[in-house]
Amino acid sequence: MTDAVGSIDMPDAEDEAPESKKKTRKGGKRAKKGPLGRLALFYRQIVAELRKVVWPTRNQLTTYTTVVIIFVVIMIGMVTGIDFGFQEAVKYVFG
């Protein structure tokens, strides 16, 4: 059985490299930095990820907030109605 890269039984040419030629890394970038360096790297990565975020416009944010508030009010009403119904049923059964 073959795929686009090669055979399952036959490894790719890149995989056939002897183990002695492969460089081993111990720790990578983290080993070279102290705790403050790692913390600074973490902060820079957070800022870089936040720059990728597509933030909603004010109009979209208002719409989303309104939809959430309306949904929560409807759910509160449903739970209150069900709770009141159970309360009346327990009063009827027990007394």
Structure tokens belonging to residue 72: 């929560």
Amino acid identity, residue 3? D
Cα within 13 Å of Cα(47), Cβ side: 6
Please write the tens of the pLDDT for every residue from 27-86: 555 556 788 999 999 999 999 999 999 999 999 999 999 999 999 999 999 999 999 999
CA distance 90 to 37: 63
The answer for residues whose C-beta is within 8 angstroms of residue 64's C-beta and 6 or more apart is: 56
pTM for this predicted structure: 0.49
Residue 2's beta-bridge partner residues?
A: 7
